[in-house]
Amino acid sequence: MKTNLLGIMTHRIGTPGRYMRHAQAAISAGFSGVVLFAPNGVRLKRKRIEGFVYVPGSNWTKTSSCEYPSVAVDIGYYTKRETVMQSIRVKQHSPIRFTGFASGNKWTIQQHLLSSSTIEPHLLPTKPMKATADAFSFAREHGTIMIKPINGKGGKGILKLSDSNDGWTLRRNGRATVSGSEMTVRSALRRATGGGGYLLQKWIDIRNKEGRVFDIRALVQKNGSGEWEISGTAVREGPPHSITSNICGGGRAYDTKQYLERLFEPAKVDELTDRLCCLSQHIPPHLESDYGRRFTEFGLDFAVDRSGTLWLLEANIKPGKSVIRKVYGDEAARKCFLLPFQYARYLAVGQQ
């Protein structure tokens, strides 16, 4: 008889006790326990898993021959090419049914978003940076641009390039601003990007009255019935002089409607919150349909410029949830954490 274990795949196990919270979430959703593994622990020829098993009433047990679970969640962040390829092989060549699949880099996601006539008007001009010269050409066209790592997360590595009558300026959080001729700034940009993949995106003024950058995170997740629901929205406000709004960089979190009411008239606030809700409900099923694959949750990052126009900046498949805790409290954060496991149980029951 097949055991009722939930698979949990991650990039590196380290100490399995770090994943006790995940194991308890799986058990609360109706699983008998979990098998924790990394992509390189899946033995495709033997159809077995090397990893750790946890069931209530016992400790984590190392195993070299656990059978495949029927359903698994992928919580890993794969940065090395080797582990990326290993995770892809596991998902493509094993019968394990994952709750969600990879979405590709930011440029790939952008192409799928552009295929929706509902989403397209809310997307900023964006293109890949193949050479540093591309950034200067794009900045001449748009004045100021953002330069983002194509596989980045958490706002790390983002730069801001501006073209003005006084010359060029390159800014990066936590680093000194570089100003001067195109040759000087291009050299600095080349050092900063280090040959990695980057996207160029038109900059818009999303600073509040105090000059702080802010955006809106909408967390959209599948529930225990397999349906998409908006778990919450919250404003993320960056620290003074920051070019991004990420919480991990020292930012703060606020209730969305209350924050917008400080900036716009009531009618405009209602318009923005309604549009935000409609887009948040539309984007996940559109991406599932356009990709032709299953997803579990999205962190949708929206921005509102000073004219009151709503823009979609990014769609993340493995979003951080700390902003939900900061605004709505521990119980709301716990619900958000549990939902992916409840969805996994929904898939598992459907296979029985």
Q: What integer pLDDT is reported at residue 287 of this predicted model?
A: 98
**What is the CA angle 336-98-349, rounded to 5?**
80
Rounded-to-integer distance, Cα 108 and Cα 79, Å = 17
Q: What integer pLDDT is reported at residue 62 of this predicted model?
A: 96
Q: What integer pLDDT is reported at residue 1 of this predicted model?
A: 34
DSSP 8-state class, residue 224 = T
Bridge partners of 97, per DSSP, are 71
Rounded-to-integer distance, Cα 42 and Cα 180, Å = 52
Helix %, strand %, coil % for the chain, to 5? Answer: 35, 30, 35
pTM of the model: 0.93
Rg, the chain, Cα only: 22
Secondary structure (3-state) at 155: coil
Task: Give the DSSP H/E element, type plus range, for residue 314.
Answer: strand 310-316
Q: What integer pLDDT is reported at residue 352 of this predicted model?
A: 52
Instruction: Output the CA torsion 299→36→223→259 (10° steps).
Output: -30
Helix axis angle for 182-193 and 132-142, nearest 10°, is 120
Task: Give the DSSP H/E element, type plus range, for residue 311.
Answer: strand 310-316
Residues of the chain with pLDDT under 50: 1
| Nearest alpha-carbon partner for 179 in 196, 164, 158 | 164
Q: What integer pLDDT is reported at residue 246 of this predicted model?
A: 77
Task: Give the DSSP H/E element, type plus range, for residue 332.
Answer: helix 330-351
Q: What integer pLDDT is reported at residue 160 of this predicted model?
A: 95
- CA distances to 43, 84, 244 from 155, rounded to whole Å, are 35, 21, 7
**Residues constituting the chain:** 352
**What is the CA angle 190-172-12, rounded to 5?**
85
Q: What integer pLDDT is reported at residue 79 of this predicted model?
A: 81
Q: Which region holds residue 215: left if phi is over 0, alpha if psi is between -120 and 50, else beta?
A: beta
Q: What integer pLDDT is reported at residue 166 of this predicted model?
A: 80
Q: What integer pLDDT is reported at residue 3 of this predicted model?
A: 67
Instruction: Output the CA torsion 42→47→50→52 (10° steps).
Output: 100
Q: What integer pLDDT is reported at residue 300 of this predicted model?
A: 98
Rounded-to-integer distance, Cα 73 and Cα 201, Å = 32
Q: What integer pLDDT is reported at residue 151 of this predicted model?
A: 87
Q: What integer pLDDT is reported at residue 81 of this predicted model?
A: 85
Q: What integer pLDDT is reported at residue 80 of this predicted model?
A: 84
